Structure 1
């Protein structure tokens, strides 16, 4: 299903702006680096310093909060789509 574009005056986000996204997945040695690579495709200004990592209490999962420079709704939609469909990712918020 194709989403219809939201007119700028109806968007809840002002562009450009810094936009946090939380990504959760199973703890794995390459999870954080893999997510950084995916995010960097959609935000060329993104770097590892914009990542906050929090392991779950038992160390089974890793939650990453990445702060991207959002420049358009299309950019965010594409990023959410790619993250949500990635096999290492369980949840994107």
Structure 2
């Protein structure tokens, strides 16, 4: 068994959704798009979905990428969680 297989149950490449929540802000979705594109250069806008919270205060953005490695996903999660506009990533 390879080291990569020991670290994750995912088989790469695979489609992988990442949900990002933050305060509703005009630039939020574009910021998430740009960060995602850095880590998944083949990411397309059609794979981005947005939903506004019930009271309109928050925005949930789901980006679905073709993940090629655990390292890629880890780097994407690290950059997203470190961004000041982002409240939670799952």
User: TM-score when scaled to structure 2?
Assistant: 0.93
- What does 1:1-93 align with in structure 2 at a 5 Å threshold? 7-10=3-6, 11-93=8-90
Gaps of 5+ in 2: none
Q: How many residues align?
A: 88
Gaps of 5+ in 1: 1-5
User: TM-score when scaled to structure 1?
Assistant: 0.90
**By how many angstroms is 1:32 displaced?**
0.2
Residue 16 of structure 2: SS of its match in structure 1? strand
Deviations 1:28-83 (Å, cap 9, x if unpaired)?
00100010000000000102110110000011000011101100010000000000
